[in-house]
Structure 1
């Protein structure tokens, strides 16, 4: 056994476990922000569009920062960018927790300084969104651990289990709010994030290539050794190279559009559904939280199976089928006002969106194999940008048409699904060339 064999640490499964654990807790940083945003509405006198912008703010940093931080993986490995994002998210949640304490302990002060407090919430919400940005870092980190034939399973498992966080916390949040109050709930969530950061520091592992670089070996030596250990994918030379290489291919941008539809849409709905259920169907916050949690968990868990399906029938075929389901679910919520039917339509949307999320990242390492980190950054970052763009659009429907706007806003998701099916057809034709 060589000295290098003795020095490197970890295995593909260990790399997958550490990244999944880190992303799960990173998402905790914002999992209560959307569901509790409605509580700021009356004290700060927020309009529907201001509320939509507020719940979307973490998605702005959580999407845009995925681009440079994921590309950073190609030159530094995943641990450094992952931990950097987690620490920034901790500062964001510390700020939000302090503001929540101030607002709900001193409502008179809050009402007199509502503009200042609103912008401070936006700022610290922006910082806390860094926890979401860990997603693309983990995607790149996991991709370099696994061979092509297992990418669907590995990335589906990583994203599926990691994305369980908002769903699980949506179940826990109403219980916490009722029994502990909003102030204590925020500090508990802050504790979750700190614990998760520590656990990632202990368990997160870079693949063999990056470990060899950190030992001082040349890129050529590191690549040779990594491939001898079964690592198929090796990165471009630098962050800038990775971003440039991936940006030059049309396939990257088509995948961005697909991911905008379903993961950006997922983030938007996770934040918007509590408002939709409480304001349109007048259900309690507990019922709204439970329905949102069901949507979030189903979208996340089904992603694991979506990855397996994509391994078997291909990413493009899987994507087309899933987007048809999303369109059917969107159509149901848009045109049928029955509560039970809307719940069923929500579940159909969850299945379609979750499976497509897995299919997209099955396609990334296959279509942009020489710059997985850069491509993952563009796809995960600009794709997740939908979580920032879509909620204000939904708020605009409400501002224009009142309560009926909550239903009419789902036209956005129907049109996105149809458009994305067209993108899949283009990708399918490109694959035949």
Structure 2
């Protein structure tokens, strides 16, 4: 068996992983653009509204851990497709609800069902850790920061695109038809991904019957540098034993979890506090936050490769803290827009910096570490919106602004963790990064 039996290339691996992530990750904003309508139809409090818009993040975050580690066993293609299919099931259930219950038949008693289908629809979000591991296995170590930033940056742009387009389509054809179109695009996109995606060389060789060591040797000859350490549970255990992995988890909770939370919460913020209509709120959320935070990851990855992930993260978390202070105190629309833009830049660059550090610290268990960091970190997208909703329950409309004190605390915490990592590296420059 020789290299002629192998298919694909790093470029193809990156393109297909990014495409699959793009179509699955749009589920982040499943309820965000229509949160006020759903909240009004079911009579939800601020806390329950925050819980509803965060529903996709529940499965989208926790499933990253086992599926990211499973990638170390079987490659990325099979786990990727399974999660996208589960997302299709959830979207189908939501479409049925909209067809038969929305708006007059939808009531508070339907909240558990709407939450369930939202959680299933969020399964596509969980492909993040799978695609991260796949990209890491395709690319050499010195190019991973840039490759992962391209993957995550372009893939992360899908909630922004959805937030921008969904309100416009809703205005034109209504909520039900909009979500039916979304379901159709998800089905077609899943089919395209399944047809074109290719696992990294090592996993192709294993599926062709080679044992681990011969497969590793041949894949190395083809240019692959990183390899899984063992089975899925072993990958998770190996990653969990490394103390710095948990620092990365906490940092990603702030940056990526924070990004997910605001992607679904900001439309309500612009509508309720600043009086924008649904279309304007979608445009402002997409342009000033979601797309900025997503696309800035690409140059953020380059900066992380150039100056180091730790110092890049320190500055980024500082930007998160400073912008949060502005959002707490301002009621002016344009000041809030500027602060949101700064917040997006801080979160996007911090996301790139954190994931640039994953293969550096955990080269022997990239899948498990990606699952832990991506899964538990992204869980912030589920935890934070209900907390923001509590501020609204206690303070009314002003709670949409004062709730950003949560991000001030998170930003300061991220700075402290990144600073500690940087000090350790500076004090022990000749020691391995995994300790």
Q: TM-score, normalised by structure 2?
A: 0.96
Name the CA distance, whole Å, in 1 between partners of 2:53 and 2:27.
13
Name the CA distance, whole Å, in 2 between partners of 1:197 and 1:389.
29
Per the alignment, residue 260 of structure 1 pairs with 253
Per the alignment, residue 311 of structure 1 pairs with 305
Per the alignment, residue 382 of structure 1 pairs with 376
Does the 8 Å CA contact 1:28/1:189 hold for their aligned counterparts? no
Name the CA distance, whole Å, in 2 between partners of 1:206 and 1:279.
46
Per the alignment, residue 230 of structure 1 pairs with 223
Name the CA distance, whole Å, in 1 between partners of 2:261 and 2:14.
26
Superposed displacement of residue 30, structure 1 = 4.2
TM alignment of 1:34-183, pairs within 5 A: 34-104=32-102, 107=104, 109-111=105-107, 114-115=108-109, 117-183=110-176
Q: TM-score, normalised by structure 1?
A: 0.97
Per the alignment, residue 193 of structure 1 pairs with 186
Deviations 1:211-236 (A, max 9, x none): 00000100001110111111110011
Per the alignment, residue 344 of structure 1 pairs with 338
Q: Please state if 1:354 is matched with 2:352.
A: no
Name the CA distance, whole Å, in 2 between partners of 1:93 and 1:281.
31
Per the alignment, residue 407 of structure 1 pairs with 401
List alignment gaps of at least 5 residues for structure 2: 429-435
Q: Please state if 1:20 is matched with 2:13.
A: no
Per the alignment, residue 216 of structure 1 pairs with 209
Superposed displacement of residue 171, structure 1 = 1.2
Per the alignment, residue 276 of structure 1 pairs with 269
Superposed displacement of residue 31, structure 1 = 3.1
Does the 8 Å CA contact 1:29/1:190 hold for their aligned counterparts? no
Superposed displacement of residue 430, structure 1 = 2.6
After the TM superposition, which segments of 4 or more aligned residues of structure 1 sit over 6 Å from their partners? none
Deviations 1:352-388 (A, max 9, x none): 1000000011000000010000000000000000000
Superposed displacement of residue 37, structure 1 = 2.4
List alignment gaps of at least 5 residues for structure 1: none
Say which of 353, 365, 376 aligns to 1:371: 365
Name the CA distance, whole Å, in 1 between partners of 2:281 and 2:27.
20
- The alignment partner of 1:53 has SS state of helix
Name the CA distance, whole Å, in 2 between partners of 1:37 and 1:402.
17
Name the CA distance, whole Å, in 2 between partners of 1:414 and 1:421.
11
RMSD: 1.0
- The alignment partner of 1:217 has SS state of coil
| Worse-superposed segment, 169-178 or 32-41 | 32-41
Superposed displacement of residue 348, structure 1 = 0.2
| Worse-superposed segment, 365-374 or 200-209 | 200-209
Per the alignment, residue 432 of structure 2 pairs with none
